Amino acid sequence: MQATLQHQQHTLSIRTAGKSLHPLTGDIQQLVGASGIQVGLCHLFVCHTSASLLIQENADPDVLRDLESFFAQLVPEDLSRYRHRAEGMDDMPAHIRSALTHTSETIPIRAGQLALGTWQGIYLWEHRQRGHLRQVVVHLTGY
């Protein structure tokens, strides 16, 4: 008996609280578990230009704080540096931070679980100062 390739697509709506790394691993793993897919791929895509996705350490919160601090220094919120200022001082820096990170990630599914490393977690990285409602498309493919 040959297994049938499955495709499922879901959209997560995440209310962010301003600049922060919002954990997504549990929400995505719940979708993977409910899908019945044992072997395949989980593809994530954030539908925004001022937020991004990140796979990073989930054990020591200092790693996330250091990343936020580093990016704040790398891409400062200084209106004198940018032409695009329509939505405030954090708008163009948020676009640059998003360009330097990822708007999509693909994670293997193995034995019905995300095949993340022991200390890896999936995060939505809000780059704007105020909170937004963000959409992440989760596409699951497999057997």
Which CATH number covers residue 53? Answer: 2.60.120.460
- Interval 32-36 mean pLDDT: 98
Average of pLDDT values for 58-71? Answer: 97
Two structure tokens written together for 17: 């609280």
* pLDDT tens readout for residues 77-95: 999 999 998 899 999 999 9
CA distances from 62 to 16, 70, 72, 79, 82 (A): 20, 12, 15, 29, 30
| 29 domain residue, yes or no | yes
> Does 95 reside within a domain?
yes
Q: What is the pTM of this model?
A: 0.95
Task: Name the residue among 135, 108, 110 with its Cα closest to residue 124.
Answer: 135
Number of folded domains in the chain? Answer: 1
What per-residue confidence (pLDDT) applies to 134? Answer: 98
Q: What is the pLDDT of residue 60?
A: 97
3-class DSSP state for residue 24?
A: coil
pLDDT at 86: 87
- Residue 1: inside a domain, yes or no? no
> Which residues, other chains included, contact 73 with Cβ-Cβ below 8 Å and sequence gap of 6+?
none
Residue 93 sits in which domain range?
6-142
